[in-house]
């Protein structure tokens, strides 16, 4: 049990950090850019901004605080289910100045609600859940806005130092022994509904890559005709590869001499061979894995590799233990605008020596997005429940654009298998060969 005053301080920091980021992502472009649609897959940035404020108003100001609405008339405009992303630019949205004023008004009230909440009692307020949920929500939209920035054309407006270089050489693979482990959580106070409840899962031994697949490795697949060999793709994956005319990860381009480059937030940079590949869809990940004689890990395998501590038998919050991530553990929080070289975070490794599980790139798993046994929605069906059983694959681990508040060993992300504007890569896994796990 953490004392309410400590929780309150932490919530204030997390909410303030989210708002600084939302501001930075929306103050760096002009109004025309904020209302424009940079891709039919994305909302205009100004929609995300006001939607962030609207969710905060619904949950913190009205529900937790029991206060008067700031703007009851705009709920429908910012209801993600009422309007698909492609139709949002045509809505009578708040203009950029109005949106900025709106989120500030809501936040001022939310600060007051936070000051007065006991942070205990009612489940929504207990341990500050509602405030943490809203901080996570804002950060998730900030990551979405970062993806919109990546899709946006025109001169670069975002800047960050280069991600760190390798500090240690990694083995190709790690053997994870079979056995039972605790998947999900019933005790992490800020875990979202889909991460709950904790349950025992029994897995046979498996082998998992020590790091995500790099650009250099992916280039070998590409050079070996990976995109031209239907036998490497699933039936659905090949149909998509054909209809979408995929021939390389999104944002890759080749120059006259055959060298590969990558467009990264408005700059064209040489393809870095030792950074994880990013902006591939599930079907590309699946084809690579088959080419490598492997497969994608299941979500349970990923979580066992990330959380299970062989010494204690316990599942921990992060690969390195229960401590919150620092800059030494993982590439999170948009400190860098790219994944780091593999081997750059030795302090972030799991006890078995699996690296880069947290940060750098979201990792596609082979699992569909489904509820854990005993799931119940909280606090609303539309966060997770309505997506269960849809055409979604689970992604794990967070990217360089994920804030620590929205990232942990239990955190589950999901998206359509064709999507690649998200900061997604992957690592491979495989069954153990006979005798391999006995050593
Ligand atoms: C969990 C990232 C898939 O962005 O659609 C934001 C998070 N839910 N607002 C999404 C979310 C409601 C969600 N993902
Ligand atoms: Fe949202």
For residue 387, give the ligand 1 atom closest to its CA. Answer: 3
Of 189, 215, 143, nearest to 415 by C-alpha is: 143
| Alpha carbon distances (Å) from 152 to 21, 42, 126 | 18, 10, 40
Element (H, E) at 270: strand 267-270
Neighbours of 224 (CB within 10 A): 12
Query: Residue 439 pLDDT > 80, yes or no?
Result: no
Give CATH for domain 159-439: 3.90.1580.10
Of all residues in the chain, what percent carry a pLDDT higher than 70?
A: 100
User: Band of the pLDDT at 309, cuts 50, 70, 90?
Assistant: very high
Query: What is the C-alpha separation between 351 and 370, in angstroms, rounded?
Result: 28
Q: Where are the domains of the chain?
A: 3-151, 159-439
Q: Which ligand is nearest to the CA of 406?
A: 1
Could you tell me where the beta strands, DSSP code E, fall in 343-405? Answer: 362-368, 393-396
Query: Residue 290 pLDDT > 60, yes or no?
Result: yes
For the segment 28-48, the average pLDDT, to the nearest whole number, is: 97
Q: Is 326 annotated as a binding residue?
A: no
Q: Is 100 annotated as a binding residue?
A: no
Residues contacting 127, CB < 8 A, separation 6+: 2, 7, 119, 120, 189, 190
Of 36, 17, 252, 54, nearest to 148 by C-alpha is: 36
Query: What is the C-alpha separation between 62 and 236, in angstroms, rounded?
Result: 45
Residues with CB under 6 A from ligand 1: 137, 140-141, 144, 383, 413-414
Query: What is the C-alpha separation between 117 and 5, in angstroms, rounded?
Result: 11
Give CATH for domain 3-151: 1.20.120
Span 185-211, pLDDT tens digits = 999 999 999 999 999 999 999 999 999
- Closest-CA residue, ligand 1 atom 14, reads 413
Q: Which ligand is nearest to the CA of 79?
A: 2
Rg (CA), the chain: 22
2 CA distance to ligand 1 middle (Å): 28
Across the chain, what does the average pLDDT equal? Answer: 97
Contact 182, 283 (CB under 8 A): no
Question: Could you tell me how many residues make up the chain?
Answer: 439
Span 39-72, pLDDT tens digits = 999 999 999 999 999 999 999 999 999 999 999 8
User: Band of the pLDDT at 431, cuts 50, 70, 90?
Assistant: very high
Alpha helices in 312-421 (DSSP H): none
320 CA distance to ligand 2 middle (Å): 30
Q: Is 420 annotated as a binding residue?
A: no
80 CA distance to ligand 2 middle (Å): 7
Span 370-413, pLDDT tens digits = 999 999 999 999 999 999 999 999 999 999 999 999 999 999 99
For residue 55, give the ligand 1 atom closest to its CA. Answer: 9
Tokens of 167: 């500090």
Q: The complex's ipTM?
A: 0.99
User: Band of the pLDDT at 438, cuts 50, 70, 90?
Assistant: confident
Coil, strand or helix: which one is 429? strand
pLDDT of residue 1: 65
Enumerate the β-bridge partners of residue 413: 395
Is there a common fold for 3-151 and 159-439? no
Mutate to test the pocket of ligand 1, among 140, 144, 193, 364 (most ligand atoms within 8 A of CB): 140
Query: What is the C-alpha separation between 343 and 244, in angstroms, rounded?
Result: 34
Span 84-120, pLDDT tens digits = 999 999 999 999 999 999 999 999 999 999 999 999 9
Strand-strand pairing, 199-203 and 413-415: unpaired
Q: Is 355 annotated as a binding residue?
A: no
pLDDT of residue 64: 98
């Amino acid at each position: 049990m953490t004392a309410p005053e400590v929780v309150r301080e932490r919530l204030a920091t997390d909410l303030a950090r989210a708002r600084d980021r939302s501001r930075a992502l929306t103050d760096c472009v002009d109004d025309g850019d904020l209302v424009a649609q940079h891709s039919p897959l994305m909302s205009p940035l100004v929609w995300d901004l006001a939607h962030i404020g609207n969710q905060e108003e619904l949950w913190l100001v009205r529900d937790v605080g029991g206060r008067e609405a700031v703007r009851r008339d705009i709920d429908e405009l910012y209801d993600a289910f009422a309007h698909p992303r492609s139709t949002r630019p045509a809505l009578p949205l708040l203009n950029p100045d109005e949106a900025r004023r709106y989120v500030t008004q809501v936040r001022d009230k939310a600060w007051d609600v936070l000051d007065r909440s006991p942070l205990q009692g009612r489940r929504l307020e207990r341990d500050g859940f509602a405030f943490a949920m809203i901080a996570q929500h804002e950060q998730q939209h900030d990551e979405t806005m970062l993806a919109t920035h990546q899709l946006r054309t025109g001169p670069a407006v975002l800047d960050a130092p280069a991600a760190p270089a390798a500090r240690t050489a990694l083995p190709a693979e790690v053997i994870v022994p079979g056995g039972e482990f605790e998947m999900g959580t019933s005790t992490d106070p800020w875990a979202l509904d889909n991460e709950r409840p904790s349950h025992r899962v029994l897995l046979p031994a498996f082998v998992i890559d020590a790091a995500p697949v790099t650009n250099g490795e992916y280039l070998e697949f590409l050079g070996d005709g990976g995109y031209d060999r239907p036998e490497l793709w699933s039936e659905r994956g090949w149909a998509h590869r054909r209809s979408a005319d995929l021939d390389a990860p999104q944002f890759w381009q080749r120059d006259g001499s055959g060298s590969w480059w990558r467009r990264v937030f408005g700059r064209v940079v040489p393809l870095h061979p030792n950074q994880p590949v990013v902006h591939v869809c599930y079907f590309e990940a699946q084809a690579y894995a088959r080419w490598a004689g492997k497969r994608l890990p299941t979500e349970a395998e990923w979580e066992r590799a990330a959380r299970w501590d062989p010494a204690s038998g316990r599942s921990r919050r992060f690969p390195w233990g229960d401590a919150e991530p620092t800059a030494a553990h993982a590439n999170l929080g948009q400190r860098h605008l790219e994944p780091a070289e593999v081997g750059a975070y030795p302090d972030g490794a799991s006890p078995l020596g699996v690296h880069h599980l947290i940060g750098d790139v979201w990792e596609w798993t082979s699992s569909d997005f489904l509820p854990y046994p005993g799931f119940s929605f909280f606090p609303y069906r539309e966060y997770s429940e309505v997506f269960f059983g849809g055409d979604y694959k689970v992604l794990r681990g967070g990217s360089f654009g994920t804030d620590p508040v929205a990232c942990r060993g239990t955190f589950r992300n999901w998206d359509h298998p064709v999507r690649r504007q998200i900061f997604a890569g992957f690592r491979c896994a495989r069954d153990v060969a006979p005798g391999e796990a006995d050593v």
